[in-house]
Structure 1
C-alpha cells in the first residue's frame, strides 16, 4: 500500500489579504478632491453619478436603476425625491442639493435622456443601466484618483458618506435613522459602524 508523506493541502481563505467588512466613508476634503477632478476632466456623467450617490445615500442597486422621471418633472429636477428601496421595499426620501441638480441636469442634456430612460444607461446593449459591478469599478477609479486605497473603499462608501458626515456633525442618531428610512436603531448603528452603547446613549439624549 502506498503511503502519503507529503504536506497536507491547506485551503486558502477566500478573504486572505483582502479588507472585508465596512468600507470607509469619504471625508469632506476627499469628496471635494474627487468632485474637482471630475469637473476638470469634463466627466459629466461621473460628476452627476458621484454627486447623486453622495446626496441620495442609496445602495448601489437602487442608484444605478434610477430613471430620469424618478428625480425630474419636465426639465426641473426635484429638490427632494422619494425612491422605493429594493432590499427593504420601503420608500426613502432624500435631498438633491443645488450642485447635484446642476450636474445631473447637464448630464441629462448631454446624453439626450428621455423621462422614461435610465438615468445612467449602460454602454452594454443588453443592459438598460449601469450594473453594480460597473458602478463598483467607477467608484474604485474615483478613490484611486486621489491616492486612496480602493481596497478600503467601495460602493458602500458612497452609501454611507453623507449620513456619516451628518452624524459626526450632529450626533443625532434619530435624525440619521429617519434619513436612511431604517425601522430599527440597530440597522443605523451597523450602517454607521458605531458602538451600540454609544448609540443608545446618544438616542436617549436626543429623544423628543
Structure 2
C-alpha cells in the first residue's frame, strides 16, 4: 500500500525516530516497528480526511478519527497486542510533536489501548531445565560449537539474560567476572551475578573456539567466525526439546522465564528479581513470573498474622 504522508509530517517522524534512537537508546527493531506504525497512522489520516494536513492538525486529531484508525487497523487483522503497541507509538510521536509545536494533544494522549492478555513463555520445571543444560551440547559433533551452545544456554538460564544480551557480549567480557554489567532494553544497565557454572561454560567455549576473540568483537561466534545468529540457538533448543520430549514452549526465552520463576519459587524477593531481569516496573515482573498455588499458600501461612 502506498503511504500518503506530507513532507513536513515525514520529516517530523524522522526527527522523532532520531531522538528515540540517540537519546532514549531505543533498539533497532523498536525503531522499525514504531516507524511503520506511525507512518501508517499518518497515511490513514490523510486518506480519511481527504488530503495531507499541517503539523498543527496532527496534534489536534479528534478521538473519533483516532478510533477510526484503530478500527481500520483491527479490520486488517492487527492483533490487540500489536494495536496497543501501535497506539503507544502514535501517542509518543504526537506528544513529542505537541510539545515541539506548543499544542494540546489531550484527545490522542488520553486514548485507551485495547486490552489483551499478555502471552508469556511457560517456564520449564527445575528438572527439565537441568536436562536442557545437560543435553544442549550434544546437538553438534563439532566440540567448540557444542561448547558454545552450552555456554549461551547456561547464561540464559543461570543469569536470566535475554538472548540479545547474551549474544551482545564481547570478547572483553572474558573471563567472565562474578558480576556482569548488562545493558538491556532502552539502554538501561543492571548488574547480574554470574554463577561459577556459567563462567566455567564460557571458559570452556573460549578455550575451544578456533577464532580470535577481539575485545570489541562478539564473544559468541557462528560457524564461519561472524557474530552468532540467535536463530542458531533457537534451532539447538528445538532439537534438544525434541529429544527430551518437552513442549514447543521450551524456547531460549523460556529459559529466562524459568530463571525468574525458579528464583521466586525458592523464596527470592520479587524486587530483587525485578532488578536481575532489568524490568522497569514491578508489575512487569509480577506478570512475568508464575508462582503455583502451593507456594503462595506457604507464604500466606508463614506471613499472615492470623495464620
Q: TM-score, normalised by structure 2?
A: 0.50
Distance in 2 (alpha carbons) for counterparts of 1:176 and 1:143: 26
Q: Over residues 29-77 of structure 1, what are the superposed CA-to-partner deviations in whole Å (9 max), with x where a residue is unaligned?
A: 11221222246676211211111111221222222222121x33xxx32
Q: Over residues 178-201 of structure 1, what are the superposed CA-to-partner deviations in whole Å (9 max), with x where a residue is unaligned?
A: 222223111112221569xx8xx9
* Residue 170 (structure 2) aligns with: 67
* Residue 160 (structure 2) aligns with: 57
Check conservation: 1:44, 1:103, Cα contact below 8 A.
yes
Distance in 2 (alpha carbons) for counterparts of 1:147 and 1:59: 24
Aligned counterparts, 1:36-55, within 5 A: 36-38=134-136, 43-55=146-158
- C-alpha RMSD of matched pairs (Å): 3.0
Aligned counterparts, 1:2-151, within 5 A: 21-38=119-136, 43-69=146-172, 71-72=173-174, 76-85=175-184, 87-112=185-210, 113-114=212-213, 115-123=215-223, 128-150=226-248
Check conservation: 1:48, 1:103, Cα contact below 8 A.
yes
Check conservation: 2:123, 2:254, Cα contact below 8 A.
yes
Helix, strand or coil for the counterpart of 1:82? strand
Aligned counterparts, 1:194-205, within 5 A: none
* Residue 173 (structure 1) aligns with: 270
1:156 Cα shift? Answer: 1.8
| Structure 1 residue ranges without an equivalent (≥5) | 1-12
Q: Over residues 112-165 of structure 1, what are the superposed CA-to-partner deviations in whole Å (9 max), with x where a residue is unaligned?
A: 44233312112357xx32223222222222222211022x22222022121111
Structure 2 residue aligned with 1:161, among 241, 251, 258? 258
CA 1:83–1:47 in 2, change beyond 3 Å: closer, same or farther? Answer: same
Higher relative contact order (CA 8 A, sep 6+): 1
| Structure 2 residue ranges without an equivalent (≥5) | 1-76, 80-117
Check conservation: 2:192, 2:276, Cα contact below 8 A.
yes
Helix, strand or coil for the counterpart of 1:170? coil
Helix, strand or coil for the counterpart of 1:88? helix
Helix, strand or coil for the counterpart of 2:191? strand
Question: Over alpha carbons, which structure has the higher Rg?
Answer: 2
More helix by share: 2
Check conservation: 1:53, 1:63, Cα contact below 8 A.
yes
Distance in 2 (alpha carbons) for counterparts of 1:149 and 1:163: 19
Q: TM-score, normalised by structure 1?
A: 0.72
Helix, strand or coil for the counterpart of 1:25? coil
CA 1:47–1:189 in 2, change beyond 3 Å: closer, same or farther? Answer: same
Check conservation: 1:55, 1:94, Cα contact below 8 A.
no
